[in-house]
Amino acid sequence: MIEAHNLTKTFRDKKRGTIRAADNISFRVQPGQIYGLLGANGAGKTTTLRLLATLLSPTDGGATVAGFDVAREPEKVRANVGFLAASTALYARLTAREMIAYFGRLNGMTDDAVRVRIKQISAELDMDDFLDRRCDKFSTGMKQKTSIARTLVHDPAVMIFDEPTLGLDVMTARAIVKFVRDCRARGKTVIYSTHVMSEVEKLCDVIGIIHDGKLLAEGTLADLRVRHSEQDMEEIFVKIVGGEGTK
């Protein structure tokens, strides 16, 4: 469902020169799989995900999502992708229901189809209590659930989550993690970006560790534990990126 081939994105900075935010990244994600992209802030996770979602154009290399090329067929990629970023904003004056319906119509859905999907999603995310309240009155958790709902209203085959639990309380974060797991159970292909080690351990079928724009290691949790002679994901991560205790 997702294939990245030497995916590269460079930016020019007046002070620092050329920055390789994504540096020759290659990986594959199979249908019905959760691929965890694990890295610290600034590692290149968000840039990689934006390239896959066609929000950025690659400087070099390429990728296909749901069989469509991100550079040549961006509209077809977007029709098959739901992309959720931690910085996703909502229209303050709309209710959650209006927000979800708006994005459903943007994706070509009929009003009847939108109504059915809103009912389904609201039940899955436990949104009934605030579905008809305005977004500017929401808690962080309510905003994130609404953002997820509007991201998947068109029922995309591929879901991309970029730090979806950032800033959430424990119970809301648990609900989001459960929902992502349910996406896999329904056959969705998921990329899950995070710096939270426990989320990777609980959720991900395959883990890719990214640092300074490079994909340094990849494998199942069991593979990485054997390869690096560690059980704790945090210790594995530190060994791979060359942090403290690796000498």
Band the pLDDT of 244: cuts 50, 70, 90: low
Phi-psi region of 54 (alpha: psi -120 to 50; beta: other; left: phi over 0): left
Q: Of 3.30.70.60, 3.40.30.10, 3.40.50.300, 3.65.10.10, which CATH number belongs to 2-241? A: 3.40.50.300
Which pLDDT does position 243 carry in this prediction? 67
Band the pLDDT of 247: cuts 50, 70, 90: very low
Band the pLDDT of 26: cuts 50, 70, 90: very high
Cα–Cα distance measured from residue 76 to residue 34, given in angstroms and rounded to the nearest whole number? 22
CA 69 to chain centre: 19
* 88-113 average pLDDT score: 93
Q: With contact defined as beta carbons under 8 Å apart, do 236 and 228 qualify? A: yes
Whole-angstrom CA distances from 147 to 8, 23, 56, 195, 212 are: 28, 29, 20, 20, 29
Which pLDDT does position 167 carry in this prediction? 80
Which pLDDT does position 13 carry in this prediction? 82
Whole-angstrom CA distances from 17 to 70, 129, 245 are: 27, 50, 31
* 110-118 average pLDDT score: 95
> How many C-beta neighbours within 10 Å does residue 196 have?
17
Closest CA to 32 of 221, 200, 183: 183
Whole-angstrom CA distances from 30 to 35, 65, 67, 72, 152 are: 9, 11, 12, 22, 19
Label residues 66-91 b or e (16+ Cβ within 10 Å = b).
bebebeebbebbbebbbbbbbebebe
Return mean pLDDT, the chain. 91
Beta strands in the chain (DSSP E): 2-13, 17-29, 34-38, 60-65, 68-69, 81-85, 158-162, 189-194, 206-211, 214-219
Which pLDDT does position 62 carry in this prediction? 95
Cα–Cα distance measured from residue 11 to residue 175, given in angstroms and rounded to the nearest whole number? 36
Q: What is the pLDDT of residues 34-69, one digit of tens each?
A: 999 999 888 999 999 999 999 999 999 999 999 999
CA 182 to chain centre: 15
The residue written with tokens 């390789």 in the block is 20
**Helix, strand or coil, per DSSP, at residue 209:** strand
* 89-104 average pLDDT score: 94
More confident site: 221 or 171: 221
Asked if the model's pLDDT at residue 245 lies above 50, the reply is no
> How many C-beta neighbours within 10 Å does residue 192 have?
26
* 90-115 average pLDDT score: 94
Q: With contact defined as beta carbons under 8 Å apart, do 183 and 190 qualify? A: yes
Q: Of all residues in the chain, what percent are helix, strand and coil, respectively (each to 5)?
A: 40, 30, 35
* 108-122 average pLDDT score: 94
Q: What is the pLDDT of residues 217-236, one digit of tens each?
A: 999 999 999 999 999 999 99
